[in-house]
Amino acid sequence: MLKRAMFRCGQLCSRVFAVEFDLRTEPLYFTLNSTPQVLHKAYQELFGDDGKLFSLHVHCDNRIEKAQTHAEIKHQLSIALSRDCDVFEASSFIPDVKNSLVKGFFIRDKSTTDLSEDVLKTLQQSKSVCVFSYKREGQYCWQEMLSPVNQVEESVRQYITPAAAAEHHPSTLNIRNSDVFYNMDEAYKVLKECTDIIPESKEVLKLVDEQLETSRGDGFPVIVIEGLDATGKTTLTEALRESLNATLLKSPPQCLAPFRQRFDSEPPLIRRAFYALGNYITAAHIGKESLRAPVIVDRFWHSTAAYAIATAVGGRVENLPEPGSELYKWPEDLLKPNLVLLLTVSPEERLRRLRDRGQDKTIEEAELEVNQLFRLKVEEAYKRIQNPACIIVDASPSPQEVLQQVQHLIRNKYHL
């Protein structure tokens, strides 16, 4: 209760709230004030008379618990609320303050029942969940904490005050060490904190511990092939293996395959830490193999970072961290490949290939199919990663032609 009170009184006034009302446009930003402020027109739509409004935020010191509670609530809201309820992604943050983002939801209940209020009051019983309700009063709208079931709390009213758009989309504030990891220790710590609730974490950490030195001398070249699913990575990497007499590796490595499904069902913090560690295991394999032959790698850090950033950042491509941001910097302790090639095909060709393949897709890949915005963000994030940056390869011609194009690129650089 103390935490909740602090969240309410201590930090609330300096915080900005953002509601992802429509993913194709800017979020709606507002702050809170003790004096009433007339609402602008854009806000009337959100805080109109059409239904009851609530917001819900998860705040808790334990980051694993926080991530899991957020995911659990998202799931519960999707099954417990009726079709008359709209649920929007929402967040509260302190502008330009890293790690200040608190993720949550904004709920508009247009039903005639009190269903959402009951669901939210039950959720609010968890000490890490904070629910506010919003009430229109003429030209004003105020926010107050929803009292939990059987509990009467002293209630502090705050008025909604429109706020200017944030310079950086709020979701970019928490990417470092929550979605993307820039050294092995940070990712390692996340899995270490999970060992009680996810026993598989211990096995993954053991596999990481077993890997020795990742550094390598002047061995053979290391070439990474990146791209969205079905852009032709498997086809090209197999062909390169043959034609260059190379060793073919993947990230995540084969030894993590038994754990992948488990970690794919976890919230981003845990899931991304798993993939980050996979890169370090693959790096150790690259270190050894590149002493003997050229190494081709199917997905590596570009994939880990691009998918993580694109998932963490809601809405449009414009919301991504700006080019040159430190969030696109290669981890200092991760082996650097000599060449990174990004396979690109048109969305239509990619869909055709996906359909022809007729395989099951991961949830994320299924999402790609319907979510053009997400696909654009992944590709743009790929292109913004620096040092090493990727070279774009048009992968729409035939497999043979793509292979020739890539062989030409490699030959130019290494005379292989």
Ligand X SMILES: Nc1ncnc2c1ncn2[C@@H]1O[C@H](COP(=O)(O)OP(=O)(O)O)[C@@H](O)[C@H]1O
Ligand Y SMILES: Nc1ccn([C@@H]2O[C@H](COP(=O)(O)OP(=O)(O)O)[C@@H](O)[C@H]2O)c(=O)n1
Tokens representing 103 are 């993720």
Give the nearest distance from C-beta 236 to ligand Y in angstroms.
12
Rule CB under 6 A: say whether 398 interacts with ligand X.
Answer: yes
Residue number with the shortest CB distance to ligand X? 232
Rule CB under 6 A: say whether 48 interacts with ligand X.
Answer: no
Give the nearest distance from C-beta 194 to ligand Y in angstroms.
17
Rule CB under 6 A: say whether 356 interacts with ligand X.
Answer: yes
Q: Quote the crossing angle between the two packed helices 233-244 and 399-414, to the nearest 10°.
A: 50
* Residues binding ligand Y (CB under 6 A): 229, 233, 251-252, 275, 279, 299-300, 303-304, 307, 362, 364-365
Total of chain residues touching ligand X, rule CB under 6 A: 15
The residue (of 57 and 233) whose beta carbon lies closer to ligand Y is 233
State how far the alpha carbon of 179 is from the alpha carbons of 16, 51, 190, 329, 333, in Å: 22, 35, 11, 14, 17
The residue (of 103 and 233) whose beta carbon lies closer to ligand Y is 233
Give the whole-angstrom CA distance, residue 105 versus residue 311: 16
Rule CB under 6 A: say whether 337 interacts with ligand X.
Answer: no
State how far the alpha carbon of 120 is from the alpha carbons of 76, 116, 131, 148, 336, in Å: 10, 6, 7, 9, 48
Give the whole-angstrom CA distance, residue 199 versus residue 98: 31
DSSP 220-268: S-EEEEEESTTSSHHHHHHHHHHHHT-EEEESS-GGGHHHHHHHHTS-H
Exactly one of 104, 148, 232, 337 binds ligand X (CB under 6 A); which one? 232
Q: Which partner, ligand Y, ligand X, none, binds residue 356 by CB below 5 to 8 Å per kind?
A: ligand X
Rule CB under 6 A: say whether 331 interacts with ligand X.
Answer: no
Give the nearest distance from C-beta 109 to ligand X in angstroms.
42
Give the nearest distance from C-beta 118 to ligand X in angstroms.
45
Are 270 and 67 in contact by the 8 Å Cβ rule? The answer is yes
Give the nearest distance from C-beta 380 to ligand X in angstroms.
18
Rule CB under 6 A: say whether 234 interacts with ligand X.
Answer: yes
Give the nearest distance from C-beta 47 to ligand Y in angstroms.
36
Tokens representing 381 are 């994030």
Give the nearest distance from C-beta 402 to ligand X in angstroms.
5
* Cis, bond preceding 170 (omega within 30 deg of 0): no
Exactly one of 55, 116, 177, 231 binds ligand X (CB under 6 A); which one? 231
- H runs (alpha helix) in 245-362: 257-264, 268-289, 301-312, 347-357
Q: What are the residues whose beta carbons fall under 8 Å from the beta carbon of 261, sequence distance 6 or more?
A: none
Rule CB under 6 A: say whether 379 interacts with ligand X.
Answer: no
Residue 160 φ/ψ, nearest 5 degrees: -70, 130
Residues of this chain that interact with ligand X (CB under 6 A) are 227, 229-235, 353, 356-357, 395, 398-399, 402
